[in-house]
């Protein structure tokens, strides 16, 4: 690299265009071969910088989302969900509800696609530029109980409060004691006006009170979640059982 290119590369780094700085020699060579005008060269270089920034930002958002697996909405088999119409599925895919801070409650028996749908919606939201976090309810309760004395838990709770979309998986999978329910209520109370929430549960909201053990706290949680929410009841056979693979089956 010539002395002039080295100096220009350093200057680009100083103005926080590190991707353009690293690729400068390559783009200068390309501009010379293609006889680009100064404006064409500058446009190409800046477009590359912005694209690389967005790619890195998306990779960070995807990592921070902590999805249990990568499965997009294109892989969701809508035909196996008789309770969800294509029209409503497309409305979910548009993600306008995230911008408007609406919630989505996915109910249904185990294996009907609640988690898969929530992950697909979360991935779409990440790709659209939203900050998303996926967390199983058991882990959520653990974080709330340890946030007061564990830096890791405190940091993760803070990130969840800053998310555009929070996915709570398997709500009411196990019973909470009164202290856990109280911590969960205060968390929901703090975020519900600023963050969209997706909840998945195999229990009806009518049964939540028994699992939480406090009707007042249950009512307060439901009030904040369902005030602005779409409730979707998934039905059908278990996807995992229907598409299982056995060791005796021929491929």
Give residue-wise pLDDT tens across range 218-231.
Answer: 888 888 888 889 99
Strand, coil or helix: what is 149? coil
Cβ(12)–Cβ(45) below 8 Å: no
- Is the sign of the CA dihedral 140, 158, 228, 70 positive or negative? negative
Token pair of 161, please?
Answer: 């409060």
Give residue-wise pLDDT tens across range 2-35.
Answer: 788 888 888 888 888 888 888 888 888 888 888 9
Stretch 58-68: mean pLDDT: 94
Task: Return left, alpha or beta for 100; rule: phi > 0 is left, psi -120 to 50 is alpha, else beta.
Answer: alpha
Q: What integer pLDDT is reported at residue 235 of this predicted model?
A: 78
Angle among Cα 148, 151, 152 to the nearest 5 degrees reads 115
What is the set of domains in the chain, with CATH numbers? 3-64 (no CATH), 73-236 (3.40.50.300)
Q: How many CB atoms lie within 10 A of CB 61?
A: 19
Give residue-wise pLDDT tens across range 144-179.
Answer: 999 988 999 999 999 999 999 999 998 766 677 888
Q: Could you give the CA distance from residue 104 to residue 89 in angstroms, rounded to a whole number?
A: 12
């Amino acid at each position: 690299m010539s002395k002039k290119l080295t100096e220009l590369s350093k200057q680009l780094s100083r103005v926080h265009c590190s991707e353009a700085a690293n690729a400068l020699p390559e783009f200068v060579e390309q501009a010379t071969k293609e006889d680009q005008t100064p404006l064409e060269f500058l446009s190409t270089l800046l477009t590359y910088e912005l694209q690389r920034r967005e790619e890195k930002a998306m990779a960070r958002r995807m990592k921070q989302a902590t999805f249990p697996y990568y499965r997009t909405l294109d892989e969701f088999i809508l035909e196996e969900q008789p309770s969800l119409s294509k029209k409503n599925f497309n409305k979910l895919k548009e993600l306008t509800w995230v911008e408007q801070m609406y919630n989505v409650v996915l109910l249904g028996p185990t294996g009907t696609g609640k988690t898969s749908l929530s992950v697909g919606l979360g991935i779409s939201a990440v790709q659209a530029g939203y900050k998303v976090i996926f967390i199983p309810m058991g882990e959520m309760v653990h974080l709330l109980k340890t946030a007061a004395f564990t830096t890791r838990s405190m940091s993760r709770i803070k990130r969840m409060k800053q998310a555009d979309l929070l996915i709570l998986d398997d709500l009411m999978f196990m019973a909470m004691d009164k202290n856990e329910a109280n911590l969960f209520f205060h968390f929901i109370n703090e975020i519900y006006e600023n963050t969209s929430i997706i909840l998945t549960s195999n229990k009806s909201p009518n049964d939540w009170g028994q699992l939480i053990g406090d009707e007042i706290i249950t009512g307060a949680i439901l009030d904040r979640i369902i005030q602005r929410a779409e409730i979707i009841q998934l039905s059908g056979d278990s996807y995992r059982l229907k598409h299982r693979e056995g060791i005796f089956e021929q491929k």
